[in-house]
Structure 1
Amino acid sequence: MITFAWLWILILLPLPFLIKSKHKAVQTGHLSLPGIEGNDAIEQGHQSQQSRKLQWLIWLFLLFALTRPQWLGDPIEIPASGRDLMVAVDLSGSMQIEDMQVNGQTVDRFTLIQHVLSDFIERRQGDRIGLILFADHAYLQAPLTQDRRSVATFLTDAQIGLVGKQTAIGEAIALAVKRFEKVDESNRVLVLLTDGSNNAGNIDPMTATRIAAERNITIYTVGVGAEVLERRTLFGTEKVNPSYDLDEQQLIDISAQTNGQYFRARNADELAQIYQKIDQLEPVSRDSLSYLPKTELFYWPLILSLLLSLYQAISPHLMISRKSLQDMINKNQKGQS
């Protein structure tokens, strides 16, 4: 179906006629349009009924383009059920430790989270997802939305140290609680990924967790980081625990108090296990929504108007060129005779 965004613009259709009647400068019997006026002598010598019709056609196509014709496709239903997921990602300095593997390459922890979460976000069709970034403090990067592409872009553009170098787990939970308060019917799920312990912010994690439990918010915590990392020293190779700062017990307590679950992510496969758990959550019904896809068509009449204007502008010169060529041919024929 074709519709017009600004159909009222067609009231300008008689404007050239009104201008012609009012101004003496256009009393030569032809329609004058900006951008296609040529030499007066050429116009007066070659003006015809056909050219006037062509100018009116140019004006008509131009107005038609300005009305913004659009093609409306068939209605597309937006899923009427889904989950509300808030993802909180740790951006503290320790997230740059390179102890993870992605496609056979050693990468830092945040790169692994970006890699796995990007796929996780892509799979959340019908769900609303939001993004919180936290370090010294917690910040809302994206509210709950079905625009998964934007959320994935925000995650990709995030940088370690963007919001500090410490870890404010309590503030991240409290911020999620605040955002969920604006949602009436929801699963209210927070997925919190960190590689450390709470050492920043103004809110104690367990206090924030207690409030979250009262608000029926389920928290899934994910401890990121390998357990063993080999590094070279002057005395050879030694094994160290790069996750010594990870407070697993606190993360377990947070998830347990909110009927969630704790995951240990030593690699990409373990981190991806959260997929299955989230998929098991019962979607919440929402009001049915739909939208009509629109395709702009204005450029077609606009192109026709420009092409006709170009033809109108060069046609008198073409006529002169043909006349000059014919005169030369006639002179040559007279000279030969």
Structure 2
Amino acid sequence: MFSIAWPWLLVLLPLPLIFRRAQQQQKVTGHLQLPGVGQTSLNQVQQRKTSPSWLLWLVWVCLISAVCRPLWVGEPIELPSKGRDLMMAVDLSGSMQIEDMVIDGKPVDRLVLIKHVLSEFIERRQGDRLGLILFADHAYLQAPLTQDRRSVAQFLREAEIGLVGKQTAIGEAIALGVKRFEQVDESNRILILLTDGSNNSGSVTPKQAAEIAAKRGVTIYSVGVGADVLERRTIFGTERVNPSMDLDEAELTQLAEMTGGRYFRARNSEELEQIYQAIDQLEPISREQFSYRPQADLFYYPLAIALLLTVLKVLLTLPIFQQLTSRKQGAA
């Protein structure tokens, strides 16, 4: 149905009349008499200069209509009443730029792989509320728990290595996730922690944060990202190294077990996808039923009409149009 967001702005419609009346009261009441020119002919000249005044009124009405923000409101759409609350903590430390992952046969760094797989995971989360935490030297909340999956995916795509530092504050990431869950009453409180290193920054240790998480009912699913073997070419030939030597799997396993979760190892995109499939099996919780009505703005229609009428008014004031009008009146 049709609706107006700000109907009270319609009180501005008579504003030109008020200004015109005030100007008329300020004018001098005397008239200048011109010899040889009748009052009727003078009035005709004035009308020719000011006509057509109705165009200006239409422009004003259209502008006020646009400012009032007309809307087309659709039918109510019910949101899913069951879902999960998932807070995702993504590591942006310097080691995430190591290119030991592969997508479609092309080598990519770890963050690109996480973005690739996690974006598909977010897309499937219909009915779930998602949040995003980015951490390196410190942890920062990028997106609170929301059902707006598109915004969360966009925030993830915009994340860059070094955005919040070069080190790894796993404890702060867990603590921040726990703090955000405190604002949610009924929730299964799941924190997905994706990292490729060990805690070496922050004011909270991972163990302290995990103890708090266990008390608050937050379940941690920790994911260790990184390949076991990386081949590098040197002047002496091909060298095989372990790019994940800094990954503290024992600590990540302990954090998950302390909160009743699990630790996963992601050496490639297939293993990372299997982890998200396991999280899909978690039982969703029931929530209060909500609905919303989609809205479409219509202000550009009266705005476009006002623009066209303004152009028409300008064209009518050009000398060529005035000459055509004078010729027509003379012929009549």
How big is the shift at 1:163?
2.4
Identify unmatched segments of 5+ residues in structure 2: 30-42
Look up the SS of the partner of 2:202 in the other structure.
coil
How big is the shift at 1:303?
2.5
For residues 239-298 of structure 1, the C-alpha deviation after alignment (integer angstroms, 9 at most, x for no partner) is: 221111211122122212222111111100101112212211122222222222222222
TM-score by length of 1: 0.83
Amino acid of the residue matched to residue 237 of structure 1?
T
Within a 5 Å distance, the mapping from 1:253-268 to structure 2 comes to 253-268=254-269
Amino acid of the residue matched to residue 66 of structure 2?
A
Partner of 1:2: 2
How big is the shift at 1:71?
1.1
Partner of 2:76: 75
Q: Indicate whether 1:170 and 2:163 are aligned.
A: no
Partner of 2:100: 99
How big is the shift at 1:173?
1.3
Identify unmatched segments of 5+ residues in structure 1: 28-39, 330-337
Q: Indicate whether 1:274 and 2:278 are aligned.
A: no
TM-score by length of 2: 0.84
Partner of 1:320: 322
1:303 and 1:255 map into 2 onto residues whose CA distance is 59
2:54 and 2:234 map into 1 onto residues whose CA distance is 88
Q: Call closer, same or farther: CA 1:42–1:9 in 2, change over 3 Å.
A: farther
Amino acid of the residue matched to residue 268 of structure 1?
S
Q: Call closer, same or farther: CA 1:53–1:207 in 2, change over 3 Å.
A: closer
How big is the shift at 1:319?
4.8
Partner of 1:217: 218
Amino acid of the residue matched to residue 322 of structure 1?
L
CA contact (8 A) 1:129 1:146 kept: yes
Q: Call closer, same or farther: CA 1:320–1:53 in 2, change over 3 Å.
A: closer
Off by >6 Å, runs of 4+ in structure 1: 324-327
Look up the SS of the partner of 1:98 in the other structure.
coil
2:137 and 2:20 map into 1 onto residues whose CA distance is 71
1:92 and 1:18 map into 2 onto residues whose CA distance is 64
Q: Indicate whether 1:140 and 2:133 are aligned.
A: no
Partner of 2:47: 44
Look up the SS of the partner of 1:239 in the other structure.
strand
Within a 5 Å distance, the mapping from 1:82-231 to structure 2 comes to 82-231=83-232
Q: Call closer, same or farther: CA 1:67–1:261 in 2, change over 3 Å.
A: same
Identity of aligned residues (%): 62
How big is the shift at 1:321?
3.1
How big is the shift at 1:170?
1.8
1:44 and 1:7 map into 2 onto residues whose CA distance is 34
Look up the SS of the partner of 1:273 in the other structure.
helix
Partner of 2:301: 300
For residues 78-115 of structure 1, the C-alpha deviation after alignment (integer angstroms, 9 at most, x for no partner) is: 22221111111112222111111011111111111111
Look up the SS of the partner of 1:44 in the other structure.
helix
For residues 299-319 of structure 1, the C-alpha deviation after alignment (integer angstroms, 9 at most, x for no partner) is: 222322333343344336455
2:203 and 2:188 map into 1 onto residues whose CA distance is 27
Amino acid of the residue matched to residue 81 of structure 2?
A
How big is the shift at 1:55?
4.7
CA contact (8 A) 1:20 1:26 kept: no
Amino acid of the residue matched to residue 152 of structure 1?
A
Amino acid of the residue matched to residue 323 of structure 2?
S
Within a 5 Å distance, the mapping from 1:26-45 to structure 2 comes to 43-45=46-48
How big is the shift at 1:215?
1.5
Partner of 1:36: none
Amino acid of the residue matched to residue 5 of structure 1?
A
